[in-house]
Structures are given as C-alpha cells and as structure tokens.
Amino acid sequence: MRNIFSIVAILVGMIPVLCSSQSKEKLGTSISKKVSQDRMERIYNEIKTPFKYGVVFSHPDSTKLMDSPTIFRENNVWYMTYIVFDGQGYETWLAESDNLLQWKTRGKILSFTGDTWDANQKAGYLSLVDFNWGGTYSVEKYQDKYWMSYIGGNSKGYEAGVLGIGIANSNTLTEEKEWNRISKPVLYPKDADARWFENKTIYKNLIVHDKNKLTGHPFVMYYNAKGDTANYESIGMAVSDDMVLWKRFGNNPVVTKHKGICGDAQIAKLNAVYVMFYFGAFWKPGAFERFACSYDLVNWTEWVGEDLVAPSKEYDKWCAHKPWVIKWNGIVFHFYTAVSEHGRVIALSTSKDLTK
C-alpha cells in the first residue's frame, strides 16, 4: 500500500501501486513494561495460522483492486468493510458472509465527492469493533452512532498527494448507504503539532475503545505515517474523549524499524495482554504479517520469530499483508491482502486446515 512499492499490474493497462505508559506486570515485587519472551511464544502459538485457505474475496469487477478488510458481526451475519482502488482513488465498500469463507458485495459506503478535502480518497476502517480475542466482534455505538475513521485526500491516483485522517458516522451499520463525514480532517500532516514521523503523509488508522482508560482517554487511535525527514512508515498513536477531537500521544512512534514500513495495526486483547497485528515491508524482502504485545497499549514488545503470514502462494507472492485476525469457534482466521500479477484480493490463513 505505498507509492514506494510500485509494480506494473496487467489489469487493463492500469499501473497502480500495489502494496501500496506504563503498564504493570507484577513479577513478585517487580514491575515491567516488557512482555516476556515466554509469554510472546505462548501468544504466537495461540494466534499463528499456518494453513493458507486461499482467496476468499475478489471484486466482481476485476479491474478494481481490493484492500484492508475489517471484519465484524451483526445479527448472526459476518460483514466486511474494505477499500477499492479503481485508478482514481480509494472508496470504501461493504460485503457480507454467512461463514467467513464466501463473501458477496453489498455496495459502497464512502464514495468519491466533489470539491472536498477528501474528494478522491476515502479509505475507511470501521471503529469500536469488539477487540476481545474470541469475543463477539460486534460494533459498539457511541452517542447512538456507529463510527469509522478513514484516509482522506483530494488528489487523484494511488494514495496521491497529502493524506490525512477523516471521521465519519452513521445510524446504520449493515446497509449500503453513505456515511456522514465530518467536514475537516481530524489529524493532518500539516497540523502545527504534527510529529517528525508523520509530517509528510498519514495512512491507515484504527480506533479502539479502551474502557480502562490506560492512556487517560477512552478512545485510542493507531495509524501509520511518514515524515519529511523520515522516509519510512511508523505506527503512532492519538487519543480522544469524544471521537471527534483527537490529540497526538507521545513524541515518537510506538512501532518502527526506521526503514521500510510498519503499518496497518489491528488490536486484540488476550487476557491481560494486548496484541497488535501489523504488516512489515522492505526492512526485509517482501510484505509480511507481524505482531507486537503490550500491557498498556503504549509500550510494545515486538515479536522476533517467524512471520505470521508471508508470501508463498501464486496469489500472494508479492505481498501478504494488512491483517484482520479473529478467533471464532476455536479457529483463528487471519484475513489479509494478497498481491500478485493476478491482482489484489482478500485471502485467508487459518489455524486449522479448512480445505479438508
């Protein structure tokens, strides 16, 4: 998902860019921010998905490229928000499934508009999804509305121009209706308080509801961004009390390699530990899925073992990245964006072999 990773697609002559604080673990009388290697190993064994099921969703129009699934459940039906690039920019779509394996498109929920700050880029990511591991995966309302953050921008092309973060809300969750957008970005690279690692452009974002207020605020946002003196992507944080006014949290990224990409965070809570699924790229070959762990949503211990998902199949041989991971009926489902010369689609890897 980045303009630093351009590959020529063979889809109707298009040339898109395709890959586009302290918490306390009591150990006797000691206090640690770091998650132990032993616990990281146990978490890895819980979340790993060694069985690639294959492509579960491709756009009905093969010229359109899909990205960034967010999976949730409502009234015993599974839904997915995802984004589509068609040459002009990003729009956000909705799909549904009865079994997590077969998906059908419902329609658009964030579309291109006229002369607005976000006219040609609206890449949406549903907010306030239940992030408990093996939980309901339902979506919480706030102020009697559903919420979504999104990448916004007015330039045409693949993540072109300066991108910021917008906020939208809706009274309905599962209908293909346009969401209501706040008229201005809530975080923008040109803001006076923009930090060194985010003052060039901002990418994918995620909002969770932290009822424990570990940061002092109920709503926590993670997003990846690039700085004008740091031409790589890192994951930073912002916090809010009302989903509309956002304040940057801390001076530095919470996950970075100081090269390549660390991006597209998803948060899951496994008992006392928070797990951040994210993708890495270009600090070693390819684009691949990683994770980090935290006790406080701020200080993250990165996994140093093998990738959760990495390119290995014909359909994901260029990129296996941009995670959404859930546990349902004892099976871990790891959805990701797969990229090859055949296009960009949503693929699935699982903890149990579902092909047998």
- Which position has the higher pLDDT, 4 or 178? 178
Closest CA relative to residue 310, chosen from 288, 337, 292: 288
∠242-243-246 over CA atoms, to 5°?
95
* 320 and 285 Cβ atoms separated by less than 8 Å: no
Q: Give yes or no for residue 142 having a pLDDT over 50.
A: yes
Contact 237, 248 (CB under 8 A): yes
pTM score > 0.85 for this model? yes
Read off the amino acid at residue 245: L
Q: What is the CA radius of gyration of the chain?
A: 19
**pLDDT tens column, 193-241:** 999 999 999 999 999 999 999 999 999 999 999 999 888 999 999 999 9
3-state SS, residue 125: strand
Which residues, other chains included, contact 264 with Cβ-Cβ below 8 Å and sequence gap of 6+?
A: 1, 68, 203, 204, 224, 278, 279, 321, 322, 323
* 8 A C-beta contact, residue 189 and residue 201: yes
Q: What is the dihedral of CA 226, 229, 232, 235, to 10 degrees?
A: -50
Pair of tokens at residue 344: 């960009």
The three-point CA angle 154-155-160 to 5° equals 125
Rounded CA-CA distance 207/236 in Å is 12
The residues spanned by each domain of the chain are 25-350
Percent of the chain with pLDDT over 70: 91
Q: How far is CA 325 from CA 19, 48, 87, 211, 273, in A?
A: 19, 10, 28, 21, 16
Closest to 1 in 3D by CA, of 155, 123, 128: 123
pLDDT surpassing 60 at residue 15: no
Q: What is the rounded CA–CA span in Å between residue 80 and residue 298?
A: 28
Distance of CA 140 to the CA centre of its chain: 18
Q: Is the pLDDT of residue 16 over 60?
A: no
Would the pLDDT of 2 be above 70? no
State pLDDT tens for residues 20-70.
433 333 333 234 689 999 999 999 999 999 999 999 999 877 788 999 999
Quote the CATH superfamily of domain 25-350. Glycosyl hydrolase domain; family 43 (2.115.10.20)
Note the pLDDT of residue 25: 35
CB 73 within 8 A of CB 137: yes
Strands, E, within 30-163: which ranges? 30-32, 51-57, 65-74, 77-85, 90-97, 104-110, 121-126, 146-153
Instruction: Evaluate if residue 7 carries a pLDDT over 80.
Output: no
Rounded to whole angstroms, the Cα distance separating 272 from 274 reads 7
81 pairs with which residues across the strands? 70, 94
At 80, the amino acid letter reads: M
Write the Ramachandran bin of 258: left for phi over 0, alpha for psi from -120 to 50, otherwise beta: left
